Structure formats: C-alpha cells, structure tokens
Structure 1
Amino acid sequence: MTLEEYKKQFTDDDAVGWLEIDKEFERLYPGQEPKHYAPAISYMLGGDNPLDGVSVYEKKQTDHFHFITYGFSELYYDEEKVAGEFSKWGFELTFRLKPFEKDNGNPSWAIALLQNIAKYVFSSGKWFEEYHFMPANGPIRLDTNSEITALVFVEDPEIPKKQTPHGEVSFLQIVGITNAEYESILENPGTAEALVNKLKENNPLLITDLNRK
C-alpha cells in the first residue's frame, strides 16, 4: 500500500492495525462480541502494561477461550509506518485455554500472563518466533497445582500471518507445556517442532489444559 492510498483510505481517527486484527476474528467468530480487557492507564500515558488490550472469544465447538492481544503490532494511524516490512514487533499473541474450574468463567490471570510477556518483549527488545519457548518459573496460573509451567510459541492454527498497511503481522499462539516437556526441549531445542506436532495429534488447535499431566 502506498502512502497516497493509505491517506485516501484512512484518517487520523482510524485504529488501522487494530481493525486488521478484528477482521480476522470477525471471520472466525461472526457476530460474537468478545470480552475486552484494557489497562486502566494506557502505556502511552505512563501505565505499566504495554498491551492496549486483550480480547477473549468463546469457541463453542471445542469449548475453549481464544485470546488475542493488541499492542505488539502498530495499532494506530501512522503515516511513517506505512509499508514497513514488519508492523512494530511483527506479531500479536493468541492463547487458547480450556475452561478451568477455579476461574469461574473469568480467566483474568491469562490477561496478566500476556501483559507480562509483553513487558519482557518491550523491556528486553527480544521478540518471539514460531517454536521459541520460555519457562514461566512455576505454574502459568499462579498458586495453582498444575504441571503446565512453560510455554512454546506456534503459529495460530486458524489465523495465517497477514500483510497489513503497516507491514507483516503473525499470530503467534502460546501453548502451555509441562515441566518435563520444557526440560526435554531445553536440552535439545531442535525438538520443539516435534513436540508441537505430537501435541497436535490429540489437540489440533493446541488448547492449553491446566489439568494436563
């Protein structure tokens, strides 16, 4: 997209990148109004949380919550960012979570988890790509008796990477893995893809289940 086309199509008031993300989720969940979590004070105004928001959809067919972040990519109208190779960090994170009894239908801890990953990226300048992995230094849901203590990053099975007016955006899904699985790929990082493929055999959408052993 050229700068001229961009100026014709959008105005200062348009959240250009945000709308691009919404398009993908409207395609997946037609007519569904997601729950949206936004920090009380935005990062631009000095708040602690780098993400401008996280939306949560419910996928009825396979009973899980599907989270999407807003903030790793360029969200707002910005003529200087037109036709870049990557939109800001070049990705947004997604997460699929099987409902967990203790959440009572409100898995707000997952929002904090996504914001913490954003804090790491924004402060360290290090970004994620498919088959990267990281420890959570304990269960990913704090104070929970769960063997899921680490994360691996994969491309979201239902949302391909896309070209936006600000550049490429991939949708990287975080997938909870057990301590044993983490130790095994830590020892041999080349096996991360094989682990993901094995998990996909019984769980094609790679939904995180905190009760998985």
Structure 2
Amino acid sequence: MTQAAQGQDDNAGDDENLSPGWDAITAALERLYPGQEPKHYATVLKWMFGGPDPLDGVSVWKRMEPVPHWHYLSYGLSELYAKESGDADTSGYGFELTFRLACEPDEAEPPAWAINFLQNLARYVFKSGNVFDDGHWMTANGPIALERETLICSMGFVFDPELPAIDTPNGRMRFLQVVGLTEDEERACKRWDTRKLLDALLPAMPLWVTDLARPSLLDDPEVRRRVEEGAARDGSSSGFLFTDVLGWETSKRLLRAPVTEITVGARQVDELVALLPLRLPFGRGFHFASRERALVFEHGDADRVAEEDGKLTLHLSDVTVRELARTLKPVAGTYEVPGFGAVRWKVQKTTIRDPQGNVVRTVG
C-alpha cells in the first residue's frame, strides 16, 4: 500500500466544475464542522493512473464530544469528478465510508493505520464489486489495527448518525460508518441482526465510536440480556454460513432405509448449531456451503432428505432442530441425532492458518 501524503487533493477545489461530487461532500462536512479545517491525506498515485489505493484521499476531523475521537471520511467510492456511470440517480457506488476512532484529548495526529484500513475496505469494493450497506457486517480475520493489541477484529456498517444522505450533481450518496466489533459481537450480529445489535450497543458506544482498548460490550450483563432477548424474539437475519469442509455420501443398507453421512469441519459446528434454531422455527431457510457443495436446511413438519444437482436439502422439524443443536459438538467424531436416523454426522478436526500458511489454532 502506498503511504498516504498529507495535503489537499490536486483536483479538489481548483474549479467547482471539475470536482462537483467532491465539493458536495465537503459542503456536507462543513455544515457538521463549521470553521474547522480537516487534516487531509491525499493518495500519491491514484487508482485511475495505476496506483494501488482506490481512494483519492481521506479527511479527518477531531471531536471532543461525546467522547474524544477522530472522524475519518473517504473520498473515492462515489463519483468525485465527471459523471461516468450510467446510473444517473446514484453517485458511483452510492456511498463514502466514515470511521470514528477514539483518541486521547491531547492527541495531535490521527493514526495512519485507519487511513490504510479504509483503503483496504475500498479496495475490496473496487475489486469484488460488492458494496456495503446499513446493517452489513464483515470480519477482518484478525485485529483491524495490526500494530495494536485489541479485541476489535470485525466490523458492522451503519449510516453515519450525523451525516444524512446528500444529492450531488453526480447522483445521490450516503455516508456509511464502519463500526469496530469484537469476535463475540460479530457472532451476535449473525445470531440476531447487525442493525439491531448496533442499536443495542449504542448506549455504551456513543456515536458508534470505535475504541481499540475496550472489552466486549457483551461482558455487560444488561447488554447481553438485551441481545439474547432480541435474538430469541426476532430470530437470526443470517441465512448463510461458509465452510471449508463439507461433503456427504449416501449408503444403502439391507432391509433398512439409506443413511446419508454428512462431513463437516469442527470450526463451523458451534456457529451452525447456534443459527439453525434461530432460523428454521421462524420459517427461514439456511445455507451451509463450501466452494463446491451446498447443504440447505428448510423447516418441515416431518424430517426428510433430498439430493439434487450437488445440493443436499434437509427438511427438519422443530424437535429435530433442537436435538441437532443439542447433539452436534465441535469435537472430531460421529454423531447421530435421536429420531433422525436417515442422517449421520461426521465432524472432522480443522486447522486455522495465518496468511503465511502457518497453523495458529486447531479446532476439534
């Protein structure tokens, strides 16, 4: 990643006709921070000229209320200059990212890692074409700030509470705030609903400011109670779980019905058995998929198994869902769910590796 350089972008502010999108964004922030000049970090070699960083720049304001923090804003996910996309109603990807990072009252410079963090998120959007939206979540597969000791290793996305959507000459855009979350808060997103979880955390996280030094907010019994009650009431909004290990084989048996043995990795078992009771009894299906295969769970009055085109579908009753959640463990072995003899589960030990391929943890 190219080191960002401080200074206003060359194309910003020279002529209002050259950067109408940029100017509209700047005007929105001037309304929020009247009279305050932000620190601006411009990309040295822009993406359009073959550079590695998709954002043209990041501006940062310092805030003291409700807690001291830096307020970062990206420039580059919307159309800053001439209108190029065919969608007249939307500017670029339709949003810019914001990020609020807790700081010391006397801190003079915003941490540079957060600028690189926003560049990485923008790079994901540019390369994949996938866009973020209010209520989305994403794992960072590790601490979001590698040089800091922190439990924050995931993120949620929510419309910035102080920056409403704006109409620019290049179309409408929103300000989407990145909110740092701990691993168990990420699990709570999947078991309930990201947007509702963020609302539940807001009283303990004013303006959704990310504090790298904080513990999990679910350590607070009152917060945990609200989250658990919400999930039990509403069910889970997560209908998909990816796995590295998934396979099955159906065997015929003499004078008995065939049995299908499903192989899964131990790493995903806890997540699977936590999510199924929060999906199927609410009438919502669930996909458990690898790169080659998909295991689909559907609610049914009676248990049955169906296989078609590389997809295995399990129709499960409420009783069987509860029994499956009680029986299946993240420990290598073979498991049979009482009352559902048509399926046998084989759990394999799985390993977790770092980016260099080194084994960092074994599950099962």
TM-score per shorter chain, which class? 0.7 to 0.9
1:198 aligns with 200
Map Cα deviations across residues 140-196 of structure 1 (whole Å, 9 max, x no partner): 11132111100100000000111211111010000000011112223x2x4212210
Separation (CA, whole Å) in 1 of partners of 2:16 and 2:59 = 23
Separation (CA, whole Å) in 2 of partners of 1:96 and 1:191 = 22
**Secondary structure of 2:193's match?**
helix
**Secondary structure of 2:206's match?**
coil
1:43 aligns with 47
State whether structure 2 residue 54 is matched by structure 1 residue 54. Answer: no
Letter in 2 for 1:143: E
1:105 aligns with 109
Letter in 1 for 2:168: T
1:141 aligns with 145
State whether structure 2 residue 140 is matched by structure 1 residue 174. Answer: no
Q: Contact 1:86/1:166 (CA < 8 Å) preserved in 2?
A: yes
Q: Which runs of 5+ in 2 are unaligned?
A: 1-14, 216-364
2:132 aligns with 128
Q: Contact 1:135/1:151 (CA < 8 Å) preserved in 2?
A: yes
1:92 aligns with 96
- 5 Å-filtered alignment, 1:5-84, equals 13-61=17-65, 62-78=67-83, 84=88
Letter in 2 for 1:17: G
Q: Which of 1 and 2 has higher RCO (CA within 8 Å, sep 6+)?
A: 1
Number of residues of Structure 1 aligned to a counterpart in Structure 2: 199
Separation (CA, whole Å) in 2 of partners of 1:97 and 1:139 = 14
2:122 aligns with 118
Structure with more strand by fraction? 2
Letter in 1 for 2:194: A
How many Å apart are 1:106 and its aligned residue? 3.3
1:6 aligns with none
Question: Is 124-133 or 143-152 further displaced after alignment?
Answer: 143-152
Letter in 2 for 1:117: L
2:237 aligns with none
Percent of paired sites with the same residue: 46
1:158 aligns with 162
Q: Which runs of 5+ in 1 are unaligned?
A: 1-10
Distance 1:12 1:147, change over 3 A: closer
Map Cα deviations across residues 2-26 of structure 1 (whole Å, 9 max, x no partner): xxxxxxxxx7852100001101110
Letter in 1 for 2:59: S
Distance 1:104 1:23, change over 3 A: closer
